[in-house]
A and B are shown apart, each in its own frame.
Chain A
Amino acid sequence: DIVMTQSPDSLAVSLGERATINCKSSRSVLYSANNKDYLAWYQQKPGQSPRLLIYWASTRESGVPDRFSGSGSGTDFTLTISSLQAEDVAVYYCQQYYTTPPTFGQGTNVEIK
């Protein structure tokens, strides 16, 4: 199975500042046939279900604010919140869907400093 490792585990950022979350996969999730990275990011607010934010490593899901962006390729990926808002307090997960079973990172808890 592909192991997904996120860093840091927890992050405290001031309102309006940038938050950066890293995700590393134990194997490349770049599929050469279509040159796509099979990597998604989710946001899970307290007491809620996960919400899809980003797929194909950098494509924003419909309705997701443009302060959320994804980057990276192969084994190293980043989720950036350009200007943290109070409603962004949540746990963020990366997920690879390159192979079965799809696997998730351990999550990064984002708080307000």
Chain B
Amino acid sequence: EVQLVESGGDLVQPGGSLRLSCAASGFSFSDYWMTWVRQAPGKRLEWVANIKQDGSEKYYVDSVKGRFSISRDNARNSVYLQMSSLRAEDTALYYCARSARQTNRDNFDYWGQGTLVTVSA
């Protein structure tokens, strides 16, 4: 059974940093692009970043470029999102998701339960 379990969400002050983790199981992790998607309260889903199977390609939504960094550890079946210079508008539930067909241009066939990031003084 495919499982994605996020952790690391917390309440953080504006300008602060946080590292999210996503532990994957039930599939060959190193064969798939992995993605972070967020959902602010009452808002639509927003793709944040993704990373290629070997970590050689990474892409980000414009609003987080230079502040967030995605990485992965295939030995640990995990993907991470390092977030810095956090802003109130980064407040959201952050989901880890798997790309369905092992490509960059893809939909997402498995999602975790999400981890909540709240940026507030």
A-B interface contact total, Cβ < 8 Å: 50
Contact flag A52-B46 (CB < 8 Å), given A101-B59, A101-B61: no
A52 touches B100 (CB 8 A): yes
In chain A between 12 and 41, which residues have their CB closer than 8 angstroms to a CB of chain B?
A: 38, 40
Chain A residue contacts of B104, Cβ below 8 A? 100
Chain A residue contacts of B59, Cβ below 8 A? 100-101
Interface residues of A (CB under 8 A from B): 38, 40, 42, 49-52, 55, 61, 93, 95, 97-107
In chain B between 64 and 111, which residues have their CB closer than 8 angstroms to a CB of chain A?
A: 95, 100, 104-109, 111
A100 touches B100 (CB 8 A): no
In the complex, which of the residues B44, B61, B106, B113 contacts A49, with contact meaning CB atoms closer than 8 Å? B113
Kindly list the 7 A-B residue pairs having the minimum CB-CB distance in the complex, ordered from nearest.
A40-B107, A49-B111, A104-B45, A106-B44, A102-B47, A55-B107, A101-B47
In the complex, which of the residues B44, B100, B106, B109 contacts A93, with contact meaning CB atoms closer than 8 Å? B44
Chain A binding surface, main DSSP class: loop
Identify the closest chain B residue to A48 (Cβ). Answer: B113
A99 touches B105 (CB 8 A): yes
**Complex Cα–Cα for A9 and B95 (A):** 23
Chain B residue contacts of A102, Cβ below 8 A? 47, 105-107
Identify the closest chain A residue to B114 (Cβ). Answer: A49
A61 touches B95 (CB 8 A): no
A105 touches B47 (CB 8 A): no
What are the interface flags for B36-54 relative to A under an 8 Å C-beta threshold, 1 for contact and 0 otherwise?
0000000011110000000
